[in-house]
Chains A and B, each alone.
Chain A
């Protein structure tokens, strides 16, 4: 082997080792959380409220809170996200308004989550008077989720062949009919995948819900959208930093449930993607 070949071999080995350095901790962290948290996992842990300063009992209210927040976020972000992507792909002309929307999407995606938290607090909690509530938290998370949903929907719409639109328009369909019957049905898989992914991000976020919805300790379930709720990520933050002498296994188990929930949603999105890819006809 010549010198260049040897150098290549060394370089590739180094690249491989660095990659190992990246992925090994991922596997280790997951393993660590599972192995330490599994012992505390039980039916009671998943279905009971916390007791005794959160050092005993379960995390049921936090699970419910997080699920409610996911649903609320979806209700707000899905219509706005999909419709604005439809605007960008199907309606927009190349003008200032369109460029501003695109720039806004880019910038929304870069705004720190804590700034969303501040904004949600000052607009929804204080200015609009929703108080610290599911409504305020969901709206905050929804705005934060918009860029991912818009980007995913845009890509899904752009992947639908131009000819479908051409056929529909040439038959005298209106623009909306064309979108409704010949574009959206074929973009739905991509839209769903992106949506689930963005919701899984929202489910794991702590900073935006700190001042908009999250309750430190609230062992009952909410009665309306104006109630506070506990949420899994915030609960994990609280018990790992604010509660002295917290049994570590409960923290690990909470982390495990949170990772499990997020991974489950990711899995759903992967399965959806695979399922529709098989059925794809074009």
Chain B
């Protein structure tokens, strides 16, 4: 099912905000075209890990990290921000759209990456919306403001916006936390279908979602990675007692 070659590899990754260490010696391989779930209680460093993948943490004033992140056999530090973030897109927790039209939201990515041809952009917008399974719902109102959409539609619009820059990896930071069950189901379907061509990392507080969607799953606790395993194994016979306690609801 999963092609066993590594697209992202972290080596002794440590992350700090000021004096506070939020991630401790994370060694994790991410395989091409897999959906890697990351679960764990609040403040276990999941989001920091996710944002370290495309260096979004560097926006924070007192952030620093040690160790290495290898992306496509290249040290991540050697890749320019703009290129790295074009290759590794992210979907945020609450649907975050720009206060412009649906069309402009999707077209923004290609535009900043220098696509000037109108037809090419139109084509990209249509393709991306189709891949995110919102084309049918939105095709007649591409010129209306994106903020008018429902939460679920906004979140899939965000996926389309990310797909439009043609990334290899998509990061999800608790993408369904603000959504109703039906929208959540649609999101999960979308992710399953995207697995054919993209590598996806899903951070979630919802262990059930991780067990439904992911191929492999990692359990983070207080800045440490306790365990990473095939999802089925992790949710039935985890190697570590703490994982068992968490997924059976003893804490978290």
Contacts and interface: CB of A to CB of B under 8 A. Distances in A.
B109 interface: yes
B162 interface: yes
Nearest to B110: A171
Interface string A159-178: 00001111111111110010
Interface residues of B, number: 27
Interface stretch (B14-22, B81-89, B132-140): B81-89
Interface in A147-169: 163-169
B109 A171 contact: yes
Contact of A164 (B61, B84, B90, B98): B98
Interface string B175-186: 000000000000
B11 interface: no
B54 A170 contact: yes
B1 interface: no
A171 B167 CA distance: 10
Contacts of B61: 93-94
Contact of B56 (A93, A166, A282): A166
B112 A177 contact: yes
B99 A282 contact: yes
Interface string B88-101: 01101000111100
B238 interface: no
A234 interface: no
Contact of B98 (A93, A167, A172, A177): A167
A168 B108 contact: yes
A169 B162 CA distance: 12
B94 to A, nearest CB: 8
B112 A171 contact: yes
Contacts of B97: 167
A168 B59 CA distance: 13
Interface residues of A, number: 20
B92 A281 contact: no
27 contacts: A93-B61, A164-B99, A166-B56, A166-B59, A167-B92, A167-B96, A167-B97, A168-B112, A169-B81, A169-B85, A170-B85, A171-B108, A171-B109, A171-B161, A171-B165, A172-B82, A172-B83, A172-B86, A172-B112, A172-B165, A173-B108, A174-B112, A177-B112, A181-B108, A181-B111, A182-B98, A281-B145
Interface of B: 54, 56, 59, 61, 81-86, 89-90, 92, 96-99, 108-109, 111-113, 145, 147, 161-162, 165
Interface of A: 93-94, 163-174, 177, 181-182, 186, 281-282
Given A170-B89, A174-B112, 12 more contacts: A166-B59, A166-B92, A167-B98, A168-B112, A170-B56, A171-B108, A172-B81, A172-B109, A173-B112, A177-B112, A181-B108, A181-B111
